[in-house]
Amino acid sequence: NAGVTQTPKFQVLKTGQSMTLQCAQDMNHEYMSWYRQDPGMGLRLIHYSVGAGITDQGEVPNGYNVSRSTTEDFPLRLLSAAPSQTSVYFCASSRNLAGLHANSPLHFGNGTRLTVT
């Protein structure tokens, strides 16, 4: 069982470059989300999706785009990287956050450590 798979594990970008962080889950989860983790600030929600074709903004969406064309994949795009985006990025998924599957916690990927110089 692969669970939530994130690639790459490490990435170094120059300011202004763009890139896509990949996230895939094989649990048929409807809900997927992206967080960034910075020292002393916990995890902050960037974007989330409640199902294929549906995305919404979280706490810190600026500078990031997402799409959800399939249930399995939820890529995060950095449009023009900035040093302030240096962070560890986690993708997570869950069956659902409401209704019948309320007992489902988030399953996290192993993270992508991004450095922007």
Using CB under 8 A, list all residues that contact other proteins. Answer: 33, 35, 40-45, 48, 58-59, 90, 92, 97-98, 102-111
Task: Decide whether 81 or 111 has the Cβ nearer to other proteins.
Answer: 111
Task: Decide whether 17 or 104 has the Cβ nearer to other proteins.
Answer: 104
| Closest distance of CB 117 from other proteins, Å | 21
- The answer to whether the CB of 54 falls within 8 A of the CB of 42 is no
| Closest distance of CB 4 from other proteins, Å | 9
